[in-house]
Amino acid sequence: MERHQAPLLLAAVAAGALLGLLLPQSAGLAPAITPLLGLVLLATFLAVPFRRLAEALRDWRLLALLGGVNFVLIPVLVWALTRFVAHDPAVLLGAALVLLTPCIDYVIVFTRLAGGAADRLLAAAPLLLVGQAVLLPVLLPLVTGRRIGIEPAPFLEALLLLIVLPLVVAAALQAAAVRWRPARAAGEGLGAAMVPLMMATLIVVVASQLAAIGDALARLLPAALLFGVFAVLATALTALVARTARLDAPRGRALVLSAVTRNSLVVLPLALALPEPLVPLVVVTQTVVELAALALLVRLLPLALPTPRA
């Protein structure tokens, strides 16, 4: 299932759309997004050995490049691209909100599928989340041209529930699995459930938002085009950065995927808390476009950034 993850996740999006059409009351599923995403991250963290985290955190070069790409290069690109939707404040806000926040969850899985340094991204995940929590209130007004009040509480909640708690539980399970068979079985079960959990998360996200998407389709189409162009340009620019920095293939692929993959599922609760109802729909649109892009990148990145032959 992991090898065919992208098509399965797109199928989950279709299933969520069908559920939203058949059951209008599915909008009430939104509160299930956070616990489902927490389980996805727990399964993600279990897949990478914690013994290698110390080594990954010592990779200051990659960490610096991740910070520079995600918090300098990408914001400049986002500012340039969002000029095309600046006439629609809600679309502009939604696009800026999701594109300015680097992914810290399923990017690790797709990086592993593409032969990238998934352990490096796992080590960088807490740093990327803290960085976006600090910088988003600064970057959003610069991109949107207006002051927007962003409460820190949703990001602190995301840090505790979606990073700290899954990390602690995953580390405890890995440590206990050495001698305790139930812990080993629990870890293996969660690992096998990774793709079904991600599919369930996407089904809930799409089903809970579909009714509103239909009413705003004309306004969402420019956003979908913007997200597609972003994926192409972010890939090209970051691949150039990786080559210029002379990163090896696994770290280069990790850098590219970190730039392309955005934090849509984690910022969705924040988008839902905003007074403009179109903003979360823009975030969901980005998720769908991004999954299609990732399905291609997992196959194309090993060709664009190949591992040198011995």
Does residue 11 sit within a domain? no
> Domain span at residue 111?
31-304
Is residue 141 included in any domain, yes or no? yes
Q: What is the pLDDT of residue 73?
A: 97
pLDDT at 92: 94
Contact 208, 29 (CB under 8 A): yes
pLDDT at 154: 66
Q: What is the mean pLDDT of residues 277-282?
A: 85
DSSP 122-183: HHHHHHHHHHHHHHHHHHHHHHHSS-----SHHHHHHHIIIIIHHHHHHHHHHHHHTT-HHH
- The C-alpha atoms of residue 128 and residue 134 are separated, in whole angstroms, by 10
Which residues make Cβ contacts (< 8 Å) with residue 68, sequence separation at least 6?
none
Say whether pLDDT at 160 is over 60: yes
Q: Number of structural domains, the chain? A: 1
What is the tens place of the pLDDT at every residue in 56-72?
A: 677 889 999 999 999 99
**Residue at 1 is within a domain:** no
Which of these ranges, 33-37, 44-48, 101-105, 241-245, has the smallest mean pLDDT?
44-48
Please check whether residue 15 lies inside any domain of the structure: no
* CATH code of the domain covering residue 257: 1.20.1530.20
Residue 199 has pLDDT above 90, yes or no: no
Question: Tokens standing for 64?
Answer: 């610096």
- Give tens-digit pLDDT for 98-129: 999 999 877 888 898 899 998 888 888 878 87
